[in-house]
Structure 1
Amino acid sequence: MNLLKHGESISAVEVSNISQHGIWLLAHGKELFLSYADFPWFRDQTVKAILNVEEQSFGHFYWPDLDVDLTEEIIEHPERFPLLSNVRVSS
């Protein structure tokens, strides 16, 4: 019997690829792309921090090492959330 502790993710979510353009998240058989242009919080982060992702509830993803919290809707339609997705990291 596999018992989950309080707060543990019940679904399989994983980062399937990291490239120079962004990251791909696989959840529920669906691949979601997070470009660094739309989600600059992931640029210049460690692989370990990016791979540490949890699904807090269905379609709601959290990267605890980065304190980044995104929903599937935000990932699929960043243009609908300009205050979130247009934050740019200064170089």
Structure 2
Amino acid sequence: MSSRALGKDILEVEVTNISKHGIWLLAHDRELFMSYENFPWFKNVTVAKILNVEEPSPDHFYWPDLDVDLTAEIIEHPERFPLKAR
């Protein structure tokens, strides 16, 4: 008899904190911080829209309610990606 886990983990990515400074995203035991200065799309939206995040592929995050796509690299190194929406 085998006792292996069936299916896929459903909680691979989640928003763990929202503050006046930004958002913390937990993905695969790694916490990523997104400041509103670098990621302005999240500043004045509802909590529900921020919490609705998906991971369509590893380290690629998508907020369907905001139509925002980000990778872990963009989140960790926003200075490498200077273009921002206004």
User: What range is the shorter-chain TM-score in?
Assistant: 0.7 to 0.9
For 1:62 and 1:76, the matched residues in 2 are separated by: 16
What is the alpha-carbon root mean square deviation over aligned residues? Answer: 1.8
Is the radius of gyration larger for structure 1 or structure 2? 2
Q: What is the number of residues matched between the two proteins? A: 81
TM-score (norm 1): 0.82
For 1:47 and 1:67, the matched residues in 2 are separated by: 15
TM-score (norm 2): 0.86
For 1:22 and 1:30, the matched residues in 2 are separated by: 16
* Unmatched tracts of structure 2, length 5 or more: 1-5
For 1:12 and 1:75, the matched residues in 2 are separated by: 17
Identical aligned pairs, as a percentage? 70
- Does the 8 A contact of 1:11 with 1:55 survive in 2? no
1:17 is aligned to 2:17: yes
3-state SS of paired residue (1:24): strand
Deviating above 6 A after TM superposition, structure 1's stretches of 4 or more consecutive aligned residues are none
